[in-house]
Amino acid sequence: GAVVSQHPSWVICKSGTSVKIECRSLDFQATTMFWYRQFPKQSLMLMATSNEGSKATYEQGVEKDKFLINHASLTLSTLTVTSAHPEDSSFYICSASSSGGYEQFFGPGTRLTVL
């Protein structure tokens, strides 16, 4: 199956700093990427959908100015958590699909801890 990587796998940062998480499709062109957030023992919550070269579409209740998403190429999308606060601590997962594809391939996730 197709491989999606995420970097870093975990990150600890101080409150007020910004953190960037990368999501890469290693062996296919990801025209659409999705960013999810998962709290402990809960399901995945979709934050936004991004199409290569276009602005991301954010789900209701997700602050687009806080969670900046860039999908500048067919293999890379980034999520930047700006001015992070402890409540932003969570597990962030990306997934990717190819053009017209009905299957999403998931990255291994990034654990963010904000002190």
Partner 1 sequence: AQTVTQSQPEMSVQEAETVTLSCTYDTSENNYYLFWYKQPPSRQMILVIRQEAYKQQNATENRFSVNFQKAAKSFSLKISDSQLGDTAMYFCAFMKGGGSEKLVFGKGTKLTVNP
- Minimum distance from residue 110 beta carbon to partner 1 (Å): 10
Q: Is 37 helix (H, G, I), strand (E, B) or coil?
A: strand
| Residue closer to partner 1, measured from CB, 80 or 104 | 104
CA dihedral 44, 79, 62, 57 (to 10 degrees): -100
DSSP character string of 44-99: EEEEEEEETTSPPEEPTT--TTTEEEEEEETTEEEEEE-S--GGG-EEEEEEEE-T
- Minimum distance from residue 44 beta carbon to partner 1 (Å): 5
- Minimum distance from residue 94 beta carbon to partner 1 (Å): 10
| Residue closer to partner 1, measured from CB, 44 or 82 | 44
| Residue closer to partner 1, measured from CB, 49 or 77 | 49
CA-based nearest residue to 70, from 85, 56, 57: 56
Q: Is 32 helix (H, G, I), strand (E, B) or coil?
A: strand
| Residue closer to partner 1, measured from CB, 27 or 103 | 103
- Minimum distance from residue 106 beta carbon to partner 1 (Å): 4
Binding residues for partner 1, per CB under 8 A? 1, 31-32, 34, 38, 41-44, 46, 49, 51, 91, 93, 95, 97-104, 106, 108-109
